[in-house]
Amino acid sequence: MALWELFTIAILPYLAIAVLVLGLGYKIIYWLKAPVNLHWELFPYPRTSGEQAGELLTEVFTLRSLYMHNRRIWLPSLVMHYGIYLVVFWLLFLVVGLPLAVYLGVTGGCLVAAGSLLLFLSRLINPELRRISEPVEYLNLAFLFLLAVAGLIGGVFRDFSFRTYIISLLTLKPHLSLPDNYLFFLLLFWLFMLYIPFTRMAHFAVKYFTYHKVKWGEME
Amino acid sequence: MRKVFDDYRVLSDESLKPDEPRVEKFLQAMKKSLQKKDNWTFWLPYTLSLDTCMKCGTCAEVCPVYLASGKKDIYHPVYRSDMLRKVYKRYFTLPGRLFPALVGAEDLTEEKLNAMAENIYRCTICRRCAYVCPVAIDNGVIAREARKIFDAIDIAPDELKKNGTQKQIKFGNATGTPANAFLDMIEFLEEEIEDTKGYKVKIPVDKEGAEYLLMHNAGDYLAFAETVMGAAEVMDAAGVDWTLNSPATGVNDAVNYGVFYSDVEFTNVLKAHVETAKKMGIKTLVVGECGHAYEALKYLMLRLIPPAERPFEVKSILELEDEWIREGRIKVNPEKNPEPVTYHDSCKLGRLGGMYEEPRRILKACCQDFRELTPNREMSICCGGGSGFAIMEKGDFRKFRMETYGKLKAEQLKASGASIIALACSNCKGQFREIINYYRLPVRFAGISELIANALVR
Amino acid sequence: MPAINVGGIEIEVDEDGFIADPSKWNEAVAKALAETEGVTELTENHWKVVNYLRQYYQQFGIAPMIRKLCKETGFSLKEIYDLFPSGPAKGACKIAGLPKPTGCV
């Protein structure tokens, strides 16, 4: 086994997870330690935790702001996000051991690939979006697209026995025998995890602060 | 004045000093602005907004300037924020230092600095974009922080600084009205009420220990006296213990232009307000019809001045008027305002202040035919007078105000079919005065208090 | 600082076009300032407004309330706008040689 294969299968995962957890943790603690800002709420805003949870879930699952005000990219964006949610559930279901996982994985992969490709093209084609896009915007979308395609073509998403590898990682005894065509996906996957904390793709964590601490504030 | 960004100029050459090297000073001031101990007031929304824009462009879809300009690139809200964001990335983030081209980090030059200084004064910080942003990123706070950085290197519009906050601290009001002129005005207003309404109203001035100290935007006396007269009639009809104050007591102008461009100036003016209210021993400081003054005294003050140091309540005059009408303390007859009336939500009172119901209840009680503008409330379109734009004229700036925000507002107003536009904010009044003139609309504007006074049953 | 030319003499104005030193004002200056405002001829009505503004300014050090200006001169606000297209504060005060009114006016 080549050294890079060993690295990808058995070392990179731990490195990536460590960086992901520490990186996100650092960011979250960094923002948590922020001084309480002057009141800067926008009215009206949900007051009870029930209302706030409702609004947050609506935004997460329907991307309402885009639907209401920026419909052009709403559908591709929704498709990509649902794909990501499904891939996350694919992993969870694999860990738990539910065979349903493979359906989530394949559907999720397809949605991520379609959504990221459409968003990539929207950015490229729509002059308004193109003007405000930096190369990194395209890079992020291309990264997601490649990752999804690698998973689909390599067959990872539809292989329930991939579970063995995940479990082997969790039990700290990484399984080294994996089909070759999984390697590229895995490399991309762990690099992506490693990359997230350094990008705006951590916005799922940041939203807590922008919404709860600023837009919805905390009135005394 | 020479062109540095678009066809307009807000900053005088004297203030902008467009040919002097300022980049180094700017970067130092910006570095300080990113330190939470040096700049805690808006550090969280500021740094979050610099870091996390997804470049989805939703903000642009609701930005009055961008839309009304025919979607000119330079007025895209992200273009504006990116002027600062590119500098932030280039000098203050690791990815920007390592891979500038990839993440869009750029060196700051004197030309870019000139353009940025102007462009941050093409946005009124109405925060309509922040309301719709999926990630709740705030282009408004970025513009305001950029203004703070510029102010720290002494670049600020004369209207807001030299003739604004600094004049207010010196004279007690930004209009520079001395006490004797103020008393002459009050006397004139009492005569006017008697002449036009046929009854006498005593306007108390400098009465210590009064329950209500009503502080107007001092510009209202000069330009929108009808609001001041209306408020006096309402106070008088309610039979409450109230007073105005002259500059002899300290600050008698509710405005605080620091809200628009500087926390330092903001705090200075705020402290002077608190000092005056304390000295007069009043129970409630009533903010007249002024949007940003309400924001400053009702919200921004709370975490800046400890409660023990501000032993008085703050209310908007609209809250009191609404309360008094509902409890029957003052009686109004809507037939006295028969014309169709509509209401423009001032950004500071509405989106930033949550005051949507009070003005509507008042107007429905006092006017026979109340109509909404569309859109309204949290999606209300800024009139273009915000951030003190209403008083900025140099560099052909009035044309900018009219051809962007003003254009949308004129269309909205026409569509409503109203012949009176009710306004609760001085900047809005100043802006609508120009919009009505510029677009020759068969409409007049009126303060809320003026309309209540018209409808009073005595 | 920008300037306007009045009979060969340079009169300094600020960036809003208001006279820098109000004591340099005279009728010829008023005419030159009027031209910058697109007012080509100063009629008796213009002078009525200008003279009242100057008188009030000399007494109190600021411009009068717009409502008072209307009342004292007998012109409606609309008539003042007809005389001075950019309005009482920016147009009339400029021609009358007052400093630019400040604050929210």
Tens digit of pLDDT for each residue in B278-301?
Answer: 999 999 999 999 999 999 999 999
d(Cα B150, Cα B161) in Å, to the nearest integer?
A: 12
| C5 close contact with B: CB closer than 8 A | no
Question: What is the rounded distance in angstroms from the CA atom of residue B268 to the CA atom of residue A66?
Answer: 41
Would the pLDDT of B83 be above 70?
Answer: yes
Residues of B in contact with C105 (CB under 8 A): 175, 219, 222-223, 391, 430
Dump pLDDT digits (tens) for B110-150. 999 999 999 999 999 999 999 999 999 999 999 999 999 99
| pLDDT beyond 70 at A148 | yes
B230 touching C, CB under 8 A?
Answer: no
The residue of chain B nearest to residue C58, with distances taken between CA atoms, is B181
C and A touch per CB criterion (3+ pairs under 8 A)? no
Q: Whole-angstrom Cα distance, residue B52 to residue B88?
A: 13
Q: Count structural domains, chain B.
A: 3
Q: Is residue A95 part of a domain?
A: yes
Contact list in B for residue C65 (CB cut-off 8 A) is 185, 188, 221-223, 225
Catalytic residue among C7, C56, C104, C105: C104
Give the type of residue at A138.
Y
Same-domain status, B116 and B201: no
Is there a single domain that holds both residue B134 and residue B217? no
State yes or no: pLDDT of A1 exceeds 80.
no
Q: Provide the pLDDT confidence category of residue C2 given band limits of 50, 70 and 90.
A: confident
CA–CA separation, B228 and B186 (whole Å): 10
Alpha-carbon distance of B261 to B155, in angstroms, equals 10
Read off the CATH number of the domain in which B352 is found: 3.40.50
Which range of residues forms the domain containing residue B410?
Answer: 329-455
| Residue B456: exposure state from Cβ atoms within 10 A (0-12, 13-18, ≥19) | buried
Chain B residues whose beta carbon lies within 8 Å of the beta carbon of residue C87: 433, 437
Whether the CB of B220 is below 8 Å from some CB of chain C: the reply is yes
Best residue in C37, C59, C79, C104 for a mutation probing chain B (most B CBs within 10 Å): C104
Does B348 lie in the same domain as B314? Answer: no
pLDDT band with cut points at 50, 70 and 90 for residue C7: confident
Inside any domain, residue A142? yes
Among residues 31-70 of chain C, which lie with CB inside 8 Å of chain B?
60-68
| A134 falls within a domain | yes
Answer yes or no: is A52 within a domain.
no
Distance from CA of C105 to the nearest CA of B (A): 5
Q: Looking at residues B166-183, what average pLDDT do you find?
A: 98
> Across the strands, what pairs with B314?
B285
Q: Would you say B142 and B84 are in contact if contact means Cβ atoms under 8 Å apart? A: yes
Contact B175 C66 (CB under 8 A): no
- C95 inside 8 A of chain B by CB: no
- CB contacts, 8 Å: B134 with chain A: 59, 63, 65-66
- Is C104 a catalytic site residue? yes
C-alpha to C-alpha distance for B347 and B345, rounded to whole angstroms: 6
State the pLDDT at residue C1.
72
* A125: CB partners within 8 A, 6+ apart: none
The whole-number pLDDT of residue A122 equals 97
Pair B263, B363 in one domain: no
Do B263 and B365 fall within a single domain? no
Q: Which residues pair with B343 in a beta bridge?
A: B372, B422
Question: Residue B222 — very low, low, confident or very high, per pLDDT cuts 50/70/90?
Answer: very high
Q: B50-63, pLDDT tens digit by residue? A: 999 999 999 999 99
CATH code (residue A199):
1.20.950.20
* B356 & B381 share domain: yes
Least confident of A154-168, A194-208, B89-103, B316-330: A194-208
B45/A40 touch (CB, cutoff 8 Å), yes or no: yes
DSSP of A71-133, one letter per residue? GGGHHHHHHHHHHHHHHHHHHHHHHHT-TTHHHHHHHHHHHHHHHHHHHHHHHHH-HHHHHH-
Give yes or no for residue A7 having a pLDDT over 70: yes
Average pLDDT over residues B174-189: 98
The per-residue pLDDT for A201 is 84
A138 belongs to a structural domain: yes
Reply yes or no on whether the pLDDT at B316 is more than 70: yes
Subunits with 3+ C-beta pairs closer than 8 A to A: B
Inter-chain residue contact A40 with B71, CB threshold 8 Å: no
Task: Name the domain boundary from B288, B321, B354.
Answer: B321
Distance in angstroms (rounded) separating the CA atoms of residues B230 and B236: 10
Chain A positions touching B78 (Cβ under 8 A) are 132
Domains in chain A, number: 1
Q: What is the DSSP string of B130-190?
A: HHH-TT---HHHHHHHHHHHHHHTT---TTTIIIIIHHHHHHSSTT---HHHHHHHHHHHH
Which H/E stretch holds residue C68? helix C66-73
For residue range C45-101, list pLDDT tens digits in order.
999 999 999 999 999 999 999 999 999 999 999 899 999 998 998 899 999 999 999
Is B427 close to C103, i.e. CB distance below 8 A?
A: no
In contact, C31 and C80? CB cutoff 8 Å: no
Whether B175 sits inside 8 A of C102 (CB atoms) is: yes
- Taking the mean position of all CA atoms in its chain, how far away is CA B229? 22
B167 and B78 fall within a common domain: no
Do B26 and B141 fall into the same domain? yes
If asked whether residues B270 and B388 sit together in one domain, one would say no
Rounded to whole angstroms, the Cα distance separating C85 from B333 reads: 37
Chain B residues 261-290 with a CB less than 8 Å from chain C: 290
Q: Measure Cα distances from A189 to A1, A9, A23 in Å.
A: 20, 11, 17
Domain contains A102? yes
Q: How many angstroms away from the CA of B185 is the closest CA of chain A?
A: 36
Residues in B touching C80 (Cβ below 8 Å): none
SS3 sequence of A155-184: CCCCCCCHHHHHHHHHCCCCCCCCCHHHHH
Amino acid at A47: R
Q: What is the CATH number of the domain that holds B111?
A: 1.10.1060
Residue A200: the pLDDT is 87
Please name the member of A132, A134, A214 whose beta carbon is closest to the beta carbon of B45. A214
Query: Which of C90, C102, C104 lies closest to B426 in CB terms?
Result: C104
B353 and B317 co-located in one domain: no
Does residue B179 share a domain with residue B134? no
The answer to whether B33 and B39 are in contact (CB under 8 A) is: yes
**pLDDT the model gives residue A219:** 56
The complex's ipTM?
0.95
Contact C103 B221 (CB under 8 A): no
pLDDT for residue B420: 98
CB–CB contact C62 B181 (8 Å): yes
| Mean pLDDT value across chain A | 94
* Bridge partner residues of A101 (DSSP): none
Whether pLDDT at B32 is above 70? yes
Strand pairing partners for B205?
B244
User: What is the secondary structure of B336-395 as a DSSP string?
Assistant: GS-SEEEE---TTTTTTT---HHHHHHHHHH-SEEEE-SS-GGGPPP-S-GGGGGG--TT
Residue A58 lies in a domain: no
Residue after which a domain boundary falls, among B152, B174, B203: B152
CB contact under 8 A, A31 and B48: yes
Task: Please check the confidence at residue A220 and state whether its pLDDT lies above 60.
Answer: no
Q: Are residues B317 and B405 located together in one domain of the fold?
A: no
Asked whether the beta carbons of residue B181 and residue C16 sit closer than 8 angstroms, the reply is no
- In a domain, residue B337? The reply is yes
The answer to whether A208 touches A52, Cβ cutoff 8 Å, is: no
Let me know how long chain A is.
220
Alpha-carbon gap, residue B438 to B433, rounded angstroms = 9
**Residue that terminates a domain, selected from B103, B131, B152:** B152
- Neighbour count for residue A97 (Cβ, 10 Å): 10
The predicted-structure confidence for B400-452, as pLDDT tens digits, reads as follows: 999 999 999 999 999 999 999 999 999 999 999 999 999 999 999 999 999 99
Tell me, yes or no, whether A205 lies in a domain: yes
Query: Mean pLDDT throughout B18-22?
Result: 95
C102 → closest Cβ in B174, B188, B225 = B174
Residue at B63 is within a domain: yes
Q: What's the domain range around A165?
A: 64-214
Nearest CA in chain B to C89: B223
Tokens linked to A52: 């706030």
Q: Would residue B27 count as lying in a domain?
A: yes
| C-alpha radius of gyration, chain C, whole number | 13
Q: Between A174 and B151, whose confidence is greater?
A: B151
Subunit contact A44:B302, Cβ cutoff 8 A: no
- Residue A60 burial (CB count, 10 A): 13
Cβ distance B219 to C16 less than 8 Å, yes or no, reads: no
